[in-house]
Structure formats: C-alpha cells, structure tokens
C-alpha cells in the first residue's frame, strides 16, 4: 500500500470512531490496528510499542507532578498562596479577579494541570468573589480562564507530554513557557481591571500588616515553586527529579510544618494520581502506535510537501494551525490533542523554519484556550459547578478573556523570541 492509502485508512477509521462517540484512546488504538492489519504487520508489535512508549524517563515526571499538586492542595500550600495573592491586589477594582489570575500562576507552578489549578483556586476564590459582589458567572469565568495558565507556567504536564512525543528538551519547554504564561496572566489581569472598573466590592481592605502576615504564614508555600523551578533552571536537577523533590518537600511541609496533611488526604492524593496517570498513559500508548505509523510511512512529510506547494507564507500556515488547534480544543482533551497533532504538525512547522520549542509553547497555549471553550471546556465545568451557575452563562462571561489568550498567541507567533530567548540564554539540553 502507498503512504496515501495508509493515511486514508488511518484517518478514516479514526474519524468514523470519533463520530460514533468512541473515546479518543479507543479511536487511536483501533485506527492503528487497522493500518497495521492492512500493511500485513503482526498486531503483536503493539505490545512492544506499549512497553517502549511507557518507559521513557521524562514521562516519569507526569505522575510525580500530579501527585505533588494533589498533596499541596491537601497540605494547605495552595490555600496560603491564594491568601498572599488576595492580599496583594484584592482591594483594587477587580482585585479579587486579578488575585485569582495570580493564584493560578502560583498554583500552576506547582501542579502543572489546568483543571487541578481551576479546582484548587476556584474552591477558595469563587465563593470569596461572590460574597464581595461579583457576578457568579463572572467569578466562574475568571477562574476557568485563569486556570488555563496552569499548563503554560512551568512545570507543565502537557509540556512533558510534548517533550516526549516530539523528542524535545522538557527543560527548554518549561523555560519557553515562562514569558508567555506571565503575558497571559498580565493580559487577564488588565482585562479584569477594565471590566470591573465600576464594580463596588465590599469587605476587603488593603493592609501592609495583613500582607506581611499572609507572607509569613505562606513562606514555606512560596518556597515550593522557588525550589522546583529554581532547581530546574539552575541545572541542579532535571524536571523528572524536580517532581520527586516536590513530593518529598510537600510531605515534609504537610506533616511537620503545617500539620494539615492527614493519612486520608494522602490516600486520596494517591488515588487521584493513579486514576489520572493511568488514563493518560493509555492515551500515550495508543497515540504512540498511531504516530509510529505516521512516521514509518512518512505521512507528515507528504502533508508538509502538499502545504509547501499550496503556500510559501509561514504566517498563513500559522493561521491554519492555530485555527485547527482552537477547534480541536473545543472537542478533545489537551493531552490527546498534543499526542495526535505533534507527529503531524511538528515536521510541517520545522519545514517552514519554526523552532520546535516555539511551536510546542504555541501548541500548549492553544490547548489552554480549549479549557475555557465549550462544549468540552473542562475548566468551565469545574468552575460552573463550584459557582452553581449554568455553563452557558460562564461561557458568555469568558469570551473577553478567551480573546486575550488569542491575542497573546498572535503576539508570540509574530515575535518568537518571546518564547525562545530564555531557553537559548540558559542553554540547557535535557
């Protein structure tokens, strides 16, 4: 069979199964099996693929960061970070919404997960905003959109997956996400100040004493992202090792300093980690088999050559890619998108001279928008449940913040040095 015929079988089976409502992992796996069968390859090779795809050293960072984020929520670290952010900007117009964005930056630097960031920050900030006069839909939208920053600010679980799928340096991906994450957080904060300029909030007064007390109480919490990110950037340990350090640091703080981490909380964190990690690893395996067929039969190269004949303008290709990613983000999970599109789109973008780290960060930023766009919109479901408002109401209030994210993505495409400057300056390879 020719590569074109294999591509037709692969994508046709995958598309039909998705339209029938099949889970993404099943659609990927059966499509790969169908292609292997058509070319006469023994299906037993998929067992070997499963073993090889799940034994990557960088992939070990995934369960470790998930566990660290869950433990930090149980040990009171996330609550203290939120309190610090609230005391910094709470009293200004839209201050609680701004502090929600800052809190998501803090917690995103711990958990690396958008939904985890939304749940942890939302449980504290959404009720607080509603008590002080914010509309429930607005409070939920502010948290859902800011939660998407959690996968851009390092450490980031989707960046780990992209690094494994695209064979890129995870440390460089982490560093490449720092400036874009800060830009999105600042953009969201400015939009909150504008949107809430006439809002009269109640009950929160700025006090240097209260801020100092919050910082003193949260000093150990502040040290968590400092140790994790500082160790990675200084080259003291790799992202995978940093995840393990984060777990032991959190256990020590939770049991012996804050004394809020209990045995039931520990067991619940382990349960959450095993469920989420198992779910992700199954997708990783089936996507690896899917990508293996794409690579072996040079299907991405054929697609890239077709696009090169269609246009020579890199910005036109960027426009099509971003539209595709935003569309997929409305219907598919982030990790599934990354595993599906990386082997197809990365060679295309490299053919246009795009740096793989630049493309990876843009990919993750687009996936971050998907957390706040229906019908999937995981962050929106979480936030609407906490605020007890309809999903439609949250989606409408989230539109200005979605546009902020898209605007930042456009800026990052036009000025790639905003992504690549920090990784190239620090010059790490792992």
Task: Count CB neighbours of 49 within 10 A.
Answer: 17
**Confidence check: pLDDT of 428 > 60:** no
Q: Do 121 and 104 form a contact (C-beta atoms < 8 A)?
A: yes
Q: What does the DSSP assignment read for 111-122? A: H--HHHHHHHHH
- The whole-angstrom separation of Cα 34 and Cα 110 is 40
Q: Peptide bond before 142: cis, by omega within 30 degrees of 0?
A: no
- The whole-angstrom separation of Cα 258 and Cα 251 is 10
- The whole-angstrom separation of Cα 357 and Cα 341 is 15
Give 292 or 214, the one with higher predicted confidence: 214
Residue 257, both tokens: 């300093």
- The whole-angstrom separation of Cα 165 and Cα 172 is 15
Residue 258, both tokens: 């804050």
pLDDT digits (tens, 9 = 90+) for 320-336: 889 888 888 876 778 77
Give 242 or 177, the one with higher predicted confidence: 177
Query: What is the model's pLDDT at position 400?
Result: 93
Task: Please tell me whether residue 330 adopts helix, strand or coil conformation.
Answer: coil
Residue 100, both tokens: 């929600």
- Residue that is written with structure tokens 């619940």 in the block: 268
Give 201 or 103, the one with higher predicted confidence: 103
Query: What is the model's pLDDT at position 429?
Result: 52
Which is nearest to 247 in space by CA: 112, 102, 101? 112
Question: 95-111 vs 114-131: helix axis angle to the nearest 10?
Answer: 160
CA 57 to chain centre: 20
Query: What is the model's pLDDT at position 307?
Result: 67
Query: What is the model's pLDDT at position 119?
Result: 74
Residue 111, both tokens: 């958990």
Query: What is the model's pLDDT at position 299?
Result: 73
pLDDT digits (tens, 9 = 90+) for 110-160: 666 777 777 777 777 788 788 777 888 999 999 889 888 888 988 788 898
Give 185 or 382, the one with higher predicted confidence: 185
Please tell me the pTM assigned to this model: 0.74
Task: Count CB neighbours of 363 within 10 A.
Answer: 25
Q: What is the mean pLDDT of residues 414-428?
A: 86
Give 239 or 217, the one with higher predicted confidence: 217
Render the burial of 198-229: b for 16+ CB within 10 Å, e for the rest: ebebeebeeeeeebeebbeebebbeebbebbb
- The whole-angstrom separation of Cα 275 and Cα 160 is 18
Which is nearest to 288 in space by CA: 171, 170, 158, 161? 161
State the number of CA atoms in the 13 A half-sphere of 409 facing the CB. 27
pLDDT digits (tens, 9 = 90+) for 346-377: 988 888 889 999 999 999 999 989 888 876 67
Query: What is the model's pLDDT at position 56?
Result: 63
- Residue that is written with structure tokens 């293996």 in the block: 292
Query: What is the model's pLDDT at position 59?
Result: 65
pLDDT digits (tens, 9 = 90+) for 369-412: 988 887 667 788 778 877 888 878 888 899 999 999 999 999 99
**Confidence check: pLDDT of 418 > 90:** yes
Render the burial of 373-403: b for 16+ CB within 10 Å, e for the rest: beebbbbbbbbbebbebebebbbebbeebbe
Classify the C-alpha dihedral 12-18-23-24 as positive or negative: positive
Query: What is the model's pLDDT at position 55?
Result: 65
- The whole-angstrom separation of Cα 414 and Cα 401 is 20
pLDDT tier at 290, thresholds 50, 70, 90: confident
Query: What is the model's pLDDT at position 425?
Result: 83
């Amino acid at each position: 069979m020719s590569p074109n015929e294999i591509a037709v079988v692969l994508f046709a089976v995958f598309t039909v199964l998705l339209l029938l409502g099949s889970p993404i992992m099943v659609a990927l796996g059966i499509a790969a099996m169908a292609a292997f069968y058509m070319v006469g390859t023994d299906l037993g090779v998929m067992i070997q693929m499963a073993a090889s795809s799940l034994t990557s050293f960088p992939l070990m960072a995934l369960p470790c960061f998930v566990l660290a984020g869950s433990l930090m929520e149980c040990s009171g670290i996330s609550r203290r970070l939120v309190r610090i952010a609230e005391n910094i900007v709470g009293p200004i117009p839209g201050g609680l919404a701004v502090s929600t964005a800052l809190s998501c930056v803090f917690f995103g630097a711990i958990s690396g997960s958008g939904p985890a960031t939304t749940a942890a920050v939302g449980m504290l900030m959404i009720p607080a905003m509603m008590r002080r006069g914010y509309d429930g839909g607005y409070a939920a939208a502010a948290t859902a959109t800011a939660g998407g920053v959690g996968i851009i600010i390092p450490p980031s679980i989707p960046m780990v997956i992209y690094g494994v799928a695209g064979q890129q340096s995870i440390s460089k991906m982490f560093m490449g996400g720092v400036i874009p994450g800060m830009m999105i957080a600042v953009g969201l904060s400015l939009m909150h100040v504008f949107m809430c300029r006439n809002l009269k909030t109640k009950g929160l007064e700025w006090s240097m004493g209260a801020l100092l007390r919050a910082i003193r109480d949260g000093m150990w919490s502040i040290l968590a992202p400092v140790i994790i990110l500082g160790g990675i950037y200084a080259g003291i340990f790799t992202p995978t090792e940093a995840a393990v350090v984060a777990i032991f640091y959190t256990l020590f703080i939770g049991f012996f300093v804050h004394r809020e981490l209990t045995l039931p909380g520990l067991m619940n964190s382990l349960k959450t980690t095993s469920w989420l990690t198992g779910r992700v690893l199954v997708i990783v395996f089936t996507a690896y088999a899917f990508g293996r067929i794409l690579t072996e039969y040079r299907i991405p190269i054929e697609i890239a050559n077709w696009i090169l004949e269609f246009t020579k303008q890199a910005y036109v290709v960027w426009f099509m890619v971003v539209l595709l990613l935003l569309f997929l983000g409305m219907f598919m999970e982030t990790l599934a998108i990354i595993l599906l599109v990386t082997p197809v789109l990365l060679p295309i973008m490299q053919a246009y001279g795009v740096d793989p780290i630049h493309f990876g960060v843009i990919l993750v930023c687009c996936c971050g928008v998907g957390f706040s766009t229906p019908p999937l919109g995981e962050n929106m479901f979480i936030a609407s449940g906490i605020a007890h408002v309809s999903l439609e109401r949250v989606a409408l209030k989230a539109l200005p913040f979605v546009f902020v994210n898209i605007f930042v993505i456009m800026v990052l495409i036009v000025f790639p040095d905003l992504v690549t400057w920090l990784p190239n300056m620090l010059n790490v390879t792992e």
